[in-house]
Structure 1
Amino acid sequence: MTQPLQPLLHDSVVVLTAPSQAWSTADGTVDGRGIHGFYHSDLRVLGGIGLTIDGALPEHIATGSPDAATAVFTSLARAIDDHTADPRVRIDRTRQVVAGSLAETITVRNALAEPVHPTIEVALRADFSPMQVVKAGLSGSEHPIAAIATSDGVTFTSGVVTATVVAPASEVAVDDVSATLTWSAEIPARSAATFSWRIEVDDPTAVVAGAEPSPDWASFTAATGDSRLAAWLQRAVADLQALRMSTTDRPEDVFLAAGAPWFFTLFGRDSIWAARMLLPLGTDIAASTLRVLASMQGTQTVNETAEQPGKIMHELRPAALTIPGEGVVLPPLYYGTVDATALWITLLHDAWKWGMPASEVEALLPHLEAALAWMRDYGDSDGDGFLEYVDTTGHGLANQGWKDSGDSIQWLDGTLADGPIALCEVQAYAYEAAVGGAELLEAFGREGADAWRAWAADLKERFAASFWIDDPAGAYPAIALDSAKRKVDTVTSNIGHLLGTGILTAEQSALVARRLAGPELNSGYGLRTMSSASGGYWPLSYHGGSVWAHDTAIVVSGLARDGHTAEAEALASGLLAAADGFDYRMPELHSGDAATDTATPIPYPAACRPQAWSAAAAVAVLGARLGLRADAQAGTLDVAPVPGVGTMAVSGLRFAGEPVAISVDDAGAVTRS
């Protein structure tokens, strides 16, 4: 028996507006294989969408993508054409996905001197497989499927979910879970005709909903001397607009879905990092992300869900998430993350610095105090002064930092480290959170600032004593401490997250910067998650040698904040080379193969795209190149461009609620308006 395999994504076309998405082959066919289908929330509603003209498949010649929500599939219908060399019957099939709906228009263009009489057929097949089943390489609805013909289409139902197809002027034939829409047409000479259908889904079990695009983001423009950055920014912002969503309980609070197709929902860590990177475009997404996460902040200790008082959640699903073959079963609201709580605090602090209204910040201060207390009282589960994690259920996530795959924390020889695990970057997040939290408490006249500064100072001292490893090539921080408090010695990108947090001395920061810039970590297409000299390194390993755009962007920002501009620029240039290779839609991750060995970046074939923090990485790179430093309390937005990066003209940035335009000339002189 063939073992089921997770679908690959790299060569499929996606059209999306959260929380709906459609995946197909390059010609628009949805054949039910792999990822292909039309999805709403976490359900594949349609597993088949096929188009024929007079019973033949059109011959595909091009696919266009004017925006994230739209694709245009262009093909030829030579079976009804004449026999000359020039094709004169063309099909333009436009597919658009908005929240809860997919619509297609099929335009047949006839350039012949006589009419054509094609029969246009669209074959639909209902599926209703849960996303987790699709990801496991399986199929099948949890409920029987019914298909009922209507006066102008068909209605599919499965359980409480209803999908209504409307196809004006078509003939509809229903067979079991399938339906065929047929138009018998006459296309006059040198003319065109359009046929359309749409499907709308009603899923009362959905926990997420669509959100309107941001008008502030729509006003953002960037022209740069490096055209790759401008192209990446344009594509990234368009994708981010399509990833905006809310929960059904709080429709007013918008956040960014982590990524399509697997993570099309609220993820604490992912949504926080994306909002943090996007602060130069305004504080609205940060403020609403903070609020929605605060509304779910832990209030009690529940072992099964990993909830604890003050803790920020990890992910939200409409039902329990089962990962077949891995023994993982996560509850619908799951708190198994060690870093989201500290990151929530740093987002609140940074949003305040970028001008989040004081009243909105103040409303979240009780949640800030609870989050700080979680770091001290629960995050440090064994009282050693470090934040660590361990899954106590036996079916939760074994690793609970951002590298959450089961094999991500390794010793240099490739063997796995035993938990509880204290990750190096989590200590840095906690340090930065304690310092930033203290500043907020003091600014708003609340108690505890001095105690949290003292807590941070103690953490910094303990970190320096416990995490550093001597090495002939220069000392470096361990990725983690294991259950016996031993230093796990693999060199990884995690150490780059320490930069800019304040947990390192200037000398330590320089050692880390030098290590990151070396060829074992810098692939030329971004930062490898694991050094190529490590025993467990593999360029197509999810967390053991691949490159993640957001990971590299975090490190670029940290390098810039600590003054290591040459190293920051080297890694940023690698990301731009990768972005160019992926047509500026950066995937979740890509291979760690060196740029010296391959002319274009090699895809990680199961990577999500678009991914919120991969898209937001473009704005982080822009911020690092401009040298942006915001302090709304002092009324200053400092701009210190990296020398030699060329001209830039950026408008639609926002500081303290007001639009800002910045221009940089060839000499590095800055003009603001």
Structure 2
Amino acid sequence: MTEAGEQIQLVRDATFVRLGRNGDIQGVSGRAPDGLFLNDARHLSRWRLTVDGNAPTTLTPSRTAENGDTSTCVLTPAGTRDEPPAYAVFREQTLTAGTFTEHLRFVSNRPEPVTAELALSVDADFADLFELRADDRHFAKPDVVRSGHTTDDGIRLEYRRGEWQARTTVSCRPAPEVVVEAPGEQSSRTLRWRLRLEPHAEAELHLTVRAQPHGSRHIPQAERIERPQLADSADDLMRAADQGLADLDLLTIAATGVDGQDVFVPAAGIPWFLTLFGRDSLITSYFLLPHRPETAAATLSALAATQGQRHDAFSGEQPGRIVHETRRGELAHFRQVPYGRYYGTVDATPLFLVLLHAHYEATGDRSLAVRLEQHARQAVDWMLTDGGLDSHGYLVYTPDPNGLINQNWKDSADAICFSDGTPAEGPIAVSEVQGYAYDALIRTARLAHDVWADETYAARLRDLAGRLRDRFLRDFWMPGVDFPALALDGAGRQVDVLASDAGHLLWSGILDEDRGRRVGRRLLEPDFFSGWAIRTLAAGQKPYHPLSYHRGSAWPHDNGLIALGLARHGLLEEVRRLSEGLTAAAARYGYRLPEVLAGYDRSATASPVPYPHSCSPQAWAAATPLALRTALGQVGAL
């Protein structure tokens, strides 16, 4: 769960609901939409309770239970000091896979009988998540029919657009006495009851909402995973790691594996990304490897099942390419957005190879590497061909007019820029991706040697990796500032802004030892390190902005990869300082790291300044404390 401003959020099995602090849904859109969501569609856009003709007073605002799928609040009708409320309403709301339930308990406060008159206004707009984002996009939706129907025990709300159909049903016990249609609205309904309360007695109302998205017959439910005991001492980092594991349980969703069976993988985050994301799910799974290697196996299987097979310019699909994200919403179905299966990422494919070997290395289990051998070879082929290694010497991308301008982890439109703020133009070769490619080639060579018994292929990959490393050190290194460029633009010019991506190069091992240590120490200087975390851009540069998504904010997962890189280069003090800053930030957020923090210095405020559009919970941020523990363990500081 999370409490975002005036909202309460419940999550379970690819379903989430965001409610007001009184348990209502108002139909908000923009940065913090409320409603019941499944498969990228809003299945409840209105859920408003009134008692005795008015909105009730909130005595105790909604609070979530520890498991994250139940909230409770206490409401009353109007009252005064001399005429206190006649009864109280104890409201409990619970979420399971595709189902939202509410239990209302009315408790009389008076010695004579009382009648509670209550009404519930209900609607479902079935809006696609991409419609609700505040980015000024508008989508034509011809021939849409929304309707509402009264049933024996409640109502049924339906949505139809051609072959696309979705439904929300509301079942009530007891059934409503009256169902009223809202004038001029296609589907809105108000359900009414009169409940008699005997003196100091109780009455109950049970409501069940079932979301039935298009094409869905069954919503798989993930088993609750027993969280490992991480440490004997109850320190802040352990608490943050334990909270991260709890959040990852909430974010676990079902996907189809390479054998056609359900596997359970980490979704990227809420509200916008409760779906399989190539890069996010891979890095999250890598951070989890020492604790939950089965997550890596599931993620690899799901991504192998969606690996590109053909060329499709609209979605970016190419043979061997690993998917960026998958969507099951209406707009994706009608190809009004390219995200049904969207392949616009340059880094998911090498990261797939990195995780495949890392899983084998961590577990000693050869079976997954054997099963996915052909998928791995196809991923290498993509890197050499469509990915650009053969033709450009590097993995490159060009801006996608249908989807993402930038296709590395810093994927906002202005993220890849020169020190004067000018955006780079493609084909763009981003620095950290070359490190991923180098590591992918080295690791796949090891699989070829150790598991596939193909030394010829292994030698070829080692040779490709060595030549890539030589080119990288020649073309990306900026001697004047003793630091690697963020990228090379389409003309081969160094994109010279100082960026945190350099820390990923320590993790992948593409830098030599001496340069790696110099870069690692540079990242802990005050213009980069805020005291909480390393900023995406060093402060003092023209494009730096502490509230920019990728040009001055600080991302926990970015710092987690950097921490692992610092540990790889034996930078003990730097690992300690970075871990202390992130752990202190987590402690001030109730031990839950958000997706991204503002870049303001630690000396400015007692707590980190939040980034206003951050997802929470978010998978790779949740897994970051585990990466910090691994890094500290590698340098002997844990």
With the length of structure 2 as denominator, give the TM-score of the two structures.
Answer: 0.90
Q: How does 1:286-325 map to 2 (within 5 A)?
A: 286-318=296-328
Against the structure 1 CA distance between its residues 438 and 21, is the aligned structure 2 distance closer, same or farther, given a 3 Å change threshold? same
Q: Render the CA deviation track for 1:209-248: whole Å, top value 9, x for unaligned.
A: 5441343xx2423456463223322322222112111236
Partner AA of 1:419 in structure 2 = G
User: Is 2:59 aligned against 1:57?
Assistant: no
Partner AA of 1:423 in structure 2 = V
Distance 2:369 2:90 in 1: 50
Against the structure 1 CA distance between its residues 621 and 153, is the aligned structure 2 distance closer, same or farther, given a 3 Å change threshold? same
Unaligned runs of 5+ in 1: 1-7, 323-327, 628-639, 646-673
How far off its partner does 1:29 sit? 2.1
Q: 1:344 aligns with which of 332, 346, 352?
A: 352
Indicate the SS of the match to 1:330: coil
Indicate the SS of the match to 2:118: strand
Against the structure 1 CA distance between its residues 190 and 72, is the aligned structure 2 distance closer, same or farther, given a 3 Å change threshold? farther
Please say if residues 245 and 257 of structure 1, whose CA atoms lie closer than 8 Å, have aligned partners that are also in contact: yes
User: Is 2:470 aligned against 1:461?
Assistant: yes
Against the structure 1 CA distance between its residues 320 and 437, is the aligned structure 2 distance closer, same or farther, given a 3 Å change threshold? farther
Against the structure 1 CA distance between its residues 111 and 232, is the aligned structure 2 distance closer, same or farther, given a 3 Å change threshold? farther
Q: Render the CA deviation track for 1:524-568: whole Å, top value 9, x for unaligned.
A: 222211111221111111111111111111111221222112212
User: Is 2:511 aligned against 1:504?
Assistant: yes
Please say if residues 110 and 192 of structure 1, whose CA atoms lie closer than 8 Å, have aligned partners that are also in contact: yes
Match of 1:33 in 2: 28
Match of 2:195 in 1: 185
Distance 2:4 2:414 in 1: 22
Indicate the SS of the match to 1:555: helix
Distance 2:319 2:482 in 1: 37
Distance 2:173 2:571 in 1: 61
Partner AA of 2:54 in structure 1 = A
Match of 2:494 in 1: 487
Partner AA of 2:338 in structure 1 = L
Distance 1:69 1:56 in 2: 30
User: Is 2:603 aligned against 1:589?
Assistant: no
Match of 2:413 in 1: 406
Q: 2:236 aligns with which of 212, 228, 243?
A: 228
Q: Render the CA deviation track for 1:338-389: whole Å, top value 9, x for unaligned.
A: 0000000011111111216322221111111111222222212662421111
Unaligned runs of 5+ in 2: none
Distance 2:397 2:567 in 1: 30
Distance 2:468 2:331 in 1: 36
Match of 2:571 in 1: 564
Match of 2:439 in 1: 432
How far off its partner does 1:58 sit? 2.9
Please say if residues 280 and 619 of structure 2, whose CA atoms lie closer than 8 Å, have aligned partners that are also in contact: yes
Distance 2:81 2:175 in 1: 27
Match of 2:342 in 1: 334
Indicate the SS of the match to 2:239: helix
Distance 1:258 1:62 in 2: 29
How far off its partner does 1:411 sit? 0.7
Indicate the SS of the match to 1:221: coil
Distance 1:89 1:594 in 2: 50
How far off its partner does 1:182 sit? 3.2
Please say if residues 207 and 317 of structure 1, whose CA atoms lie closer than 8 Å, have aligned partners that are also in contact: no
Against the structure 1 CA distance between its residues 110 and 593, is the aligned structure 2 distance closer, same or farther, given a 3 Å change threshold? farther
Indicate the SS of the match to 1:79: coil
Match of 1:255 in 2: 265
How far off its partner does 1:255 sit? 1.3
Partner AA of 1:407 in structure 2 = D
Q: 1:552 aligns with which of 520, 535, 559?
A: 559
Indicate the SS of the match to 1:619: helix
How far off its partner does 1:109 sit? 4.0
Q: 2:371 aligns with which of 363, 367, 372?
A: 363
Please say if residues 438 and 450 of structure 1, whose CA atoms lie closer than 8 Å, have aligned partners that are also in contact: yes
Please say if residues 9 and 608 of structure 1, whose CA atoms lie closer than 8 Å, have aligned partners that are also in contact: no
Indicate the SS of the match to 2:65: strand
Distance 1:292 1:299 in 2: 15
Please say if residues 148 and 156 of structure 1, whose CA atoms lie closer than 8 Å, have aligned partners that are also in contact: yes
How far off its partner does 1:118 sit? 2.3
Distance 1:337 1:26 in 2: 38
Q: Render the CA deviation track for 1:106-137: whole Å, top value 9, x for unaligned.
A: 23345655654322332212211111101137
Match of 1:380 in 2: 388
How far off its partner does 1:300 sit? 2.7
Q: Render the CA deviation track for 1:145-176: whole Å, top value 9, x for unaligned.
A: 11111111111110111111111113141414
Match of 1:278 in 2: 288
Match of 1:144 in 2: 145
Match of 1:451 in 2: 460
Against the structure 1 CA distance between its residues 203 and 251, is the aligned structure 2 distance closer, same or farther, given a 3 Å change threshold? farther
Match of 2:402 in 1: 395
Indicate the SS of the match to 1:412: coil
Match of 1:173 in 2: 179
Partner AA of 1:166 in structure 2 = S
Match of 1:104 in 2: 102
Q: Render the CA deviation track for 1:641-671: whole Å, top value 9, x for unaligned.
A: 41xx5xxxxxxxxxxxxxxxxxxxxxxxxxx
Q: How does 1:75-94 map to 2 (within 5 A)?
A: 75-77=74-76, 79=78, 83=82, 90-94=88-92
Q: Render the CA deviation track for 1:290-335: whole Å, top value 9, x for unaligned.
A: 111111212333333222222111111225868xxxxx94252111
- The root-mean-square deviation of aligned C-alpha atoms, in Å, is 2.7
Match of 1:157 in 2: 158
User: Is 2:411 aligned against 1:416?
Assistant: no
With the length of structure 1 as denominator, give the TM-score of the two structures.
Answer: 0.85
Percent identical pairs in the alignment equals 34
Please say if residues 147 and 174 of structure 1, whose CA atoms lie closer than 8 Å, have aligned partners that are also in contact: no
Distance 2:341 2:72 in 1: 39
Distance 1:55 1:234 in 2: 45
Indicate the SS of the match to 2:43: strand
Indicate the SS of the match to 1:536: coil
Please say if residues 211 and 244 of structure 1, whose CA atoms lie closer than 8 Å, have aligned partners that are also in contact: no
Partner AA of 2:149 in structure 1 = I
Distance 2:148 2:280 in 1: 38
Against the structure 1 CA distance between its residues 17 and 255, is the aligned structure 2 distance closer, same or farther, given a 3 Å change threshold? same
Indicate the SS of the match to 1:117: strand
Match of 1:12 in 2: 7
Against the structure 1 CA distance between its residues 382 and 451, is the aligned structure 2 distance closer, same or farther, given a 3 Å change threshold? closer
Partner AA of 2:398 in structure 1 = V
Alignment length (residue pairs): 614
Please say if residues 594 and 618 of structure 2, whose CA atoms lie closer than 8 Å, have aligned partners that are also in contact: yes
Please say if residues 10 and 607 of structure 1, whose CA atoms lie closer than 8 Å, have aligned partners that are also in contact: no
How far off its partner does 1:278 sit? 0.9
Which has the larger displacement, 423-432 or 220-229? 220-229
Indicate the SS of the match to 1:378: coil
Please say if residues 70 and 94 of structure 1, whose CA atoms lie closer than 8 Å, have aligned partners that are also in contact: no
How far off its partner does 1:251 sit? 4.7
How far off its partner does 1:76 sit? 3.8
How far off its partner does 1:81 sit? 7.6
Distance 2:403 2:545 in 1: 25
Distance 1:625 1:192 in 2: 56
Q: Render the CA deviation track for 1:184-228: whole Å, top value 9, x for unaligned.
A: 33445555443221111222346995441343xx24234564632
